[in-house]
């Protein structure tokens, strides 16, 4: 019985081993090997069956021999061995599966990174390339990297892989290459790959395509370099780390390196300003639109707005050049000041004119009533002469305020300068050399020749006073074109053709503070009693009234140069034919008509009433525009002429006249005013379109004008 059990166990274990071997085919995949092993085990089981059959035929008698026990042990060992081998291969299979999964994950990660990865051995042979590298430069596994990647026969001079082999650190460099799509830029990062003992066995290169970044950086650099404002970066010590082209040009350096070598500290006109900026940055981290002054390389002053931020020790920001804006602001302030002073002088002139009208009027009436041999007649003549000089002064004030009417005609500027030359020469005296250099041909301008002469005489007078010990005085003319660049640089002017008059002297010159005030009325550097301070202000007013420009440059001890620009007129016709003829004046006579006077100044009103009544006229008075309308309505059939002051309370002269015309359209009117022409224009009265006479007016002038209007 024991023998039967041993036989059956042995055969069963051998069959189990054969089946287990066949099952390992699925796990290991090695089909033929396991079939042969399984077949061998089946044959061994078959042999045991033969032995078992013989044993049964013999009657199943006897004890099992040693060989049967050994066979049983072998069968057991075979089964255990196959089972253990199955476990081993199952473990291997699980490990391989896990490795494949990890490999798939790693490849997915590498693909997601978007960078190329290449592995070279210590001899620089390519061991591995990911798909991105293959797409970039092809499949070169097994080749030397310098030959495959760089088309070289020898190792690259600064190979980052070799450098990482030498020191065990990570090394990075950038390279560029030409492709069909243009220049390609890549960043290569090399690091060593070590085994468990720390020995370097390979090098890994990560290749990143940075073409897009490089192009963006270039666009940014171009944008910064071509910006209209200065962009900079410095450290707190004052070293310039970066300056764009605009800042280099602004501060007149040759290049960014030239500017960097000079540093930023020397650029501040006031060194304390930079300390203030640094302190503000350290407190707040930034400053915005800080206004200060910088010096260019040549020493010019630049007014700037500075904005900056502080990041550690680095300052970066922008600088805006506002030099031209400051110049324009100063010119605007000066123009506004001159306009305000002009308005003031115009008002003063009006008040003077009313007073002078009364003085001149009563003086003439007094003179007319005196005998020719009256010893007091000389005193009256002196009074009238003095008032005439005062009247000229008020006209000068009105010229400065650019509100006095000018008699503009086409003139040849060279002829005018040549004509006044003799007077200027006598004015200068023998110890001052007088030179005139006129351009060839005519310089035709629309101007009042008498006022241009006055300009030259005033400039000559100032030059004479500036050269008590002698010197030289020169007047030159030439045609010039003012363009946008001229206007941009000098801050004044309008594009077009101009006649340039340059007046130069070698006198004492002026400092900057004096130069800023020379065109202000009543400003003078002369001693008391030697000047009114109106000379240059009158010059300024005349040139402005001619739509021209005047500028002065001067330094102490170097004389002065005045440049006058007058718009030219290009006409082929003879200038003399364009000059207007002055009409002959009417004979001084009176009349018997009725005149309605509207004048708010009682003294002037009484004077005119007395004068007109002395010459036979009937006079009706009104103190303002409303009273004038009322008086006319009451005497509409009697009144032949309206004599209205333009500027009056309630209704001005023009408004009263318009209301009266609605009742009597053909009524005649003579306007008068002591205000400047622009003020009169604002009230609707234009001298060319209406009968007008300006104050102060002498009795003969008034009588002639009244008679002229009545006879029209």
pLDDT tens per residue across span 564-599: 999 998 654 433 443 333 333 334 567 889 999 999
Residues 564 and 605 in one domain: no
Same domain, 281 and 361: no
**Confidence class of residue 712 from pLDDT cuts 50, 70 and 90?**
confident
Domain endpoint, select from 62, 93, 108: 108
Residue 546 pLDDT class (50, 70, 90 cuts): confident
Q: Residue 342 belongs to what domain range? A: 326-400
In a domain, 587, yes or no: no
Residue 72 pLDDT exceeds 60: yes
**pLDDT at residue 339, as a whole number:** 67
Q: Give the helix/strand (H/E) hosting 166.
A: helix 160-167
31-52 average pLDDT score: 77
Tell the burial category of 50 from Cβ atoms under 10 Å away from its Cβ (0-12, 13-18, 19+).
Answer: exposed
Closest CA to 47 of 73, 76, 15: 15
Structure tokens that stand for 294 in this block: 């910088």
The larger pLDDT score, comparing residue 303 to residue 224, is at 303
Asked if residue 444 and residue 530 are part of one domain, the reply reads yes
Q: Which of 321, 339, 365 is the last residue of a domain?
A: 321
Domain CATH for 275: 3.30.450.20
Indicate whether 586 belongs to any domain: no
Mean pLDDT over residues 199-220, rounded? 86
Using CA atoms, how far apart are residues 364 and 519, in angstroms rounded to an integer? 36
Q: Residue 586 has what pLDDT?
A: 36
pLDDT at 584: 33
Question: Which of 173-177, 429-433, 527-531 has maximum average pLDDT?
Answer: 429-433
One DSSP character per residue, 564-632 reads: EEEEB----S-HHHHSPPPPPPPP------EEEEE-S-HHHHHHHHHHHHHTT-EEEEESSHHHHHHHH
Q: Edge-to-edge, what's the strand order for the sheet holding 230-235? A: 240-243, 230-235, 314-321, 301-311, 286-295
Domain containing 331 — which CATH number? 1.10.287
Can you give the CATH number for the domain in which 671 is found?
A: 3.40.50.2300
* Interatomic CA distance for residues 457 and 421, integer angstroms: 9
Average model confidence (pLDDT) across the chain: 81
Q: Give the CA radius of gyration of the chain.
A: 56
In a domain, 221, yes or no: no
Please tell me which residue, 201 or 150, carries the higher pLDDT value: 201
Bigger pLDDT: 311 vs 106: 311
Q: By mean pLDDT, which of 176-180, 200-204, 359-363, 625-629 is the weakest?
A: 176-180
In whole angstroms, give the CA distance from residue 246 to residue 224: 9
- 202 versus 539: which is more confidently predicted? 202
Q: Report the C-alpha dihedral over residues 458, 461, 466, 471, rounded to 10 degrees.
A: 120
**Per-residue pLDDT tens over the stretch 83-105:** 877 777 778 778 888 888 888 88
Strand order in the sheet with 668-673: 618-622, 594-598, 639-645, 668-673, 692-694
* Residues 610 and 633 both lie in one domain: yes
Q: Is 62 left (phi over 0), alpha (psi -120 to 50) or beta?
A: left
* Range 527-553 average pLDDT: 72
Is 636 inside any structural domain? Answer: yes
* Nearest-angstrom CA–CA distance, 239 and 365: 85
| Poorest-pLDDT segment among 174-188, 471-485, 576-590 | 576-590
pLDDT tens-digit series, residues 382-410: 888 778 767 766 665 665 554 445 567 88
**478 pLDDT above the threshold of 90:** yes
Please report the pLDDT score of residue 486 as a whole number: 77
Q: Is there a domain that residue 46 lies in?
A: yes
322: three-class secondary structure by DSSP: coil
Distance separating alpha carbons of residues 188 and 206, to the nearest angstrom: 6
184, 177 Cβ separation under 8 angstroms: yes
Query: Does the pTM exceed 0.85?
Result: no
Residue 588 belongs to some domain of the structure? no
Which pair of structure tokens corresponds to residue 27?
């796990």
- Please, are residues 442 and 414 in contact by the beta-carbon 8 Å criterion? yes
Q: Does 556 lie in the same domain as 475?
A: yes
- 704 is written with which tokens? 């002639």
Pairing of strands 409-412, 444-447: antiparallel
- Predicted confidence at residue 644, as pLDDT, reads 92
Q: How confident is the model at residue 338 (pLDDT cuts 50, 70, 90)?
A: low
Angstrom CA distances, 506 to 212, 419, 470, 565, stand at 66, 23, 9, 21
Query: Which pLDDT score is estimated for 473?
Result: 94
Kindly tell me if the per-residue pLDDT of 620 is higher than 90: yes
Percent of the chain with pLDDT over 90: 23
- Choice among 275-289, 416-430, 581-595 with the minimum mean pLDDT: 581-595
Q: Which of 12-26, 263-277, 451-465 has the lowest mean pLDDT?
A: 12-26
Same domain, 573 and 489: yes
pLDDT tens-digit profile of 640-667? 999 998 888 888 888 999 999 999 999 9
**What is the predicted pLDDT for the residue at 587?**
45
- Residues 524 and 622 both lie in one domain: no
Asked if residue 260 and residue 157 are part of one domain, the reply reads: no
Same domain, 529 and 444: yes
Residue range 158-177: mean pLDDT, rounded: 88
Are 372 and 441 contained in the same domain?
no
Among 124-128, 530-534, 568-572, 689-693, the range scoring the smallest mean pLDDT is 530-534
Q: Please confirm whether the linkage preceding 323 is cis (ω < 30° from 0).
A: no
Domain boundary among 294, 321, 348: 321
Let me know whether 282 and 347 are in one domain.
no
pLDDT value for 619: 94
- 66-113 vs 2-28: helix crossing angle, rounded to 10: 20
Residues 156 and 68 occupy one common structural domain: no
Report pLDDT for 600.
87
Q: Is residue 158 part of a domain?
A: yes
Mean local confidence (pLDDT), 485-506: 83
Question: Are 29 and 23 in contact, with CB atoms under 8 Å apart?
Answer: no
| Residues comprising the chain, all counted | 712
Task: State pLDDT tens for residues 122-149.
Answer: 999 999 988 888 887 889 899 998 888 8
> How confident is the model at residue 493, as a pLDDT?
75
Q: How many domains does the chain have?
A: 6
Identify which of 642, 647, 618 has the alpha carbon closest to the alpha carbon of residue 628.
Answer: 642
Spatial separation of the C-alpha atoms in residues 625 and 647, rounded to whole Å: 9
Please report whether residue 583 resides in a domain. no
């Amino acid at each position: 019985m024991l023998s039967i059990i041993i036989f059956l166990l042995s055969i069963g274990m051998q069959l189990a081993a054969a089946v287990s071997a066949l099952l390992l085919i699925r796990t290991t995949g090695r089909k033929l090997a396991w079939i042969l092993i399984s077949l061998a085990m089946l044959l061994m089981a078959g042999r045991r069956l033969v032995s078992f059959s013989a044993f049964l035929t013999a009657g199943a008698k006897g004890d099992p021999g040693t060989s049967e026990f050994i066979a049983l042990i072998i069968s057991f060992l075979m089964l255990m061995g196959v089972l253990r081998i199955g476990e081993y291969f199952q473990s291997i299979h699980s490990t391989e599966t896990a490795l494949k999964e990890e490999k798939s994950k790693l490849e997915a990660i590498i693909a997601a990174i978007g960078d190329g990865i290449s592995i070279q051995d210590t001899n620089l042979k390519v061991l591995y390339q990911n798909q991105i590298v293959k797409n970039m430069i092809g499949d070169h596994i097994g080749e030397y990297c310098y030959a495959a990647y760089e088309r070289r026969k020898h190792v690259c001079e600064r190979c980052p892989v070799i450098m990482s082999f030498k020191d065990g650190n990570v090394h990075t460099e950038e390279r560029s290459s030409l492709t069909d799509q243009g220049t390609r830029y890549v960043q290569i990062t090399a690091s060593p790959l070590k085994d468990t003992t720390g020995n370097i066995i390979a090098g890994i290169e990560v290749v990143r395509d940075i073409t897009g970044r490089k192009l963006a950086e270039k666009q940014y650099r171009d944008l910064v370099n071509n910006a209209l404002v200065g962009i900079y970066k410095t450290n707190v010590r004052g070293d310039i780390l970066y300056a764009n082209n605009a800042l280099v040009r602004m501060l007149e350096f040759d290049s960014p390196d030239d500017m960097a070598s000079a540093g930023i500290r020397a650029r501040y006109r006031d060194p304390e300003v930079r300390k203030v900026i640094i302190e503000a940055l350290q407190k707040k981290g930034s400053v915005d639109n800080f206004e200060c002054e910088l010096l260019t390389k040549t020493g010019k002053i630049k007014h700037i707005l500075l904005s900056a931020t502080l990041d550690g020790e680095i300052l970066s920001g922008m600088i805006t050049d506002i030099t031209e804006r400051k110049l324009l602001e100063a010119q605007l302030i000066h123009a506004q000041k001159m306009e305000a002073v002009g308005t003031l002088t115009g008002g003063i002139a009006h008040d003077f004119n009313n007073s002078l009208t009364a003085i001149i009027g009563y003086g003439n009436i007094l003179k007319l009533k005196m005998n020719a041999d009256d010893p007091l007649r000389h005193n009256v003549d002196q009074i009238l002469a003095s008032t005439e000089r005062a009247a000229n002064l008020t006209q000068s004030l009105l010229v400065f305020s650019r509100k006095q009417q000018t008699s503009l005609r086409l003139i040849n500027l060279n002829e005018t300068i040549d004509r006044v030359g003799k007077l200027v020469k006598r004015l200068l005296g023998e110890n001052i050399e007088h030179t005139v250099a006129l351009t060839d041909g005519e310089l035709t301008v629309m101007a009042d020749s008498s006022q241009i002469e006055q300009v030259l005489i005033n400039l000559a007078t100032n030059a004479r006073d500036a050269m008590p010990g002698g010197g030289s005085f020169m007047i030159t003319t030439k045609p010039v074109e003012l363009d946008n660049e001229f206007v941009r640089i000098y801050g004044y002017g309008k594009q077009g053709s101009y006649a340039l008059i340059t007046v130069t002297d070698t006198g004492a010159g002026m400092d900057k503070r004096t130069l800023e005030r020379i065109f202000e009325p009543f400003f003078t550097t002369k001693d008391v009693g030697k000047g009114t301070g109106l000379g240059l202000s009158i010059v300024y007013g005349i040139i402005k009234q001619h739509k021209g420009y005047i500028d002065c440059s001067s330094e102490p001890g170097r004389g002065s140069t005045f440049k006058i620009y007058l718009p030219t007129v290009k006409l082929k016709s003879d200038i003399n034919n364009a000059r207007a003829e002055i009409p002959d004046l009417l004979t001084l006579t009176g009349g018997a008509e009725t005149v309605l006077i509207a004048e708010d100044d009682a003294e002037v009103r009484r004077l005119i009433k007395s004068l007109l009544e002395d010459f036979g006229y009937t006079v009706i008075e009104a103190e303002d525009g409303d009273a004038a309308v009322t008086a006319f309505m009451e005497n509409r059939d009697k009144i032949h002429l309206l004599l209205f002051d333009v500027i009056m309370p309630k209704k001005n002269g023009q408004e009263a006249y318009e209301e009266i015309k609605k009742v009597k359209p053909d009524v005649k009117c003579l306007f008068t005013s002591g205000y400047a022409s622009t003020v009169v224009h604002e009230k609707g009265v234009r001298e060319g379109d209406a009968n007008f006479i300006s104050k102060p007016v002498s009795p003969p002038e008034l009588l002639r004008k009244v008679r002229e209007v009545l006879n029209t």
